[in-house]
């Protein structure tokens, strides 16, 4: 799949919000944001970028971990993801490279209903071109944290585009934000300018923006990246 018509992209993220608002999830999700092409009013949308703020689940029902490990070969069910959710949706249960249940991958499997391969990875180009960012911090806080980390590591592909729109927060859906998305009413500056507003100088912001755009262009299919602050 090469992309979405704008109306289709808004409808797609609306279905994601509907699922977050009404369905059982592997971990609680408090916020849903969109950024990138959809927030900027681009049509068509080459890639749909979605950000989720979730809880870090430390103890749910740890006594059932052995049961799930024996049946599915995945550790940590009842600790990092909800046991009741795993019983109801075993088809969405996903593990990280160490064999532990990975909340971001479980969320991606359920919300995107795809066979996503892992954090930041390329997958089958026939899958929907959706990138899911999942973190325990709010979008705005993580923008700042990722900016600092990218500068320290000199790796601007780790930046989070600050030009985002909050569609859902703590159980409340923003119909006003959805309306503005549909009519392309939101106005944002170029990425380099947005990064300057966060404290980068002009030269660095230009280099950083180019790196982010190049990274996005190399992504295919459904991808997910998990982050813990």
- pTM, two decimals, is 0.90
Cα–Cα distance, 94 to 226 (Å, whole number): 13
Taking CA atoms, 188 is separated from 23, 35, 169, 179, 201, in Å, by 32, 10, 21, 16, 19
**Mean of pLDDT over the chain:** 90
* Cross-strand bridge partners of residue 100: 75
What is the mean pLDDT of the segment spanning 178-183? 93
pLDDT band for position 226 (50/70/90)? Answer: very high
Q: Sheet harboring 164-169: ordered strands across?
A: 172-173, 164-169, 29-35, 48-54, 130-135, 223-227
Structure tokens of 206?
């230009």
* Cross-strand bridge partners of residue 225: 133
Cα–Cα distance, 35 to 14 (Å, whole number): 14
Domain limits, the chain = 6-56+113-227
pLDDT band for position 116 (50/70/90)? Answer: very low
Q: pLDDT of 36-82, one tens digit each?
A: 999 999 999 999 999 999 998 766 677 888 899 999 999 999 989 99
Q: pLDDT of 72-112, one tens digit each?
A: 999 999 989 999 999 999 999 999 999 999 999 999 999 99
Q: Apex CA 144: angle with CA 107 and CA 110, to 5°?
A: 5
pLDDT computed for residue 166 by the predictor = 97
**What DSSP state is assigned to residue 86?**
H
């Amino acid at each position: 799949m090469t992309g979405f018509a704008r109306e289709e992209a808004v409808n797609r993220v609306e279905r994601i919000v509907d699922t977050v608002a009404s369905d059982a999830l592997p971990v609680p999700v408090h916020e849903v944001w969109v950024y990138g092409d959809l927030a900027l009013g681009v049509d068509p949308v080459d890639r749909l970028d979605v950000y989720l703020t979730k809880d870090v689940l430390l103890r749910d029902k740890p006594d059932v971990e052995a049961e799930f490990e024996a049946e599915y070969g995945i550790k940590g069910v009842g600790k990092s993801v909800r046991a009741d959710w795993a019983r109801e949706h075993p088809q969405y249960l996903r593990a990280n490279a160490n064999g532990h249940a990975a909340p971001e991958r479980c969320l991606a499997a359920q919300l995107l209903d795809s066979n996503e391969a892992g954090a930041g990875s390329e997958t089958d180009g026939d899958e929907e071109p959706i990138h899911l960012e999942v973190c325990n911090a709010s979008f705005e806080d993580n923008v700042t944290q990722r900016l600092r980390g990218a500068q320290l590591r000199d790796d601007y592909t780790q930046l989070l585009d600050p030009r985002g729109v909050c569609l859902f927060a703590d159980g409340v859906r923003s119909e006003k934000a959805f309306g503005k998305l549909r009519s392309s009413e939101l106005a944002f500056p170029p990425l380099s300018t947005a990064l300057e507003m966060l404290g980068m100088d002009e030269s660095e912001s230009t280099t950083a923006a180019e790196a982010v755009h190049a990274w996005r262009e190399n992504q295919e299919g459904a991808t997910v990246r998990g982050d813990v602050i």
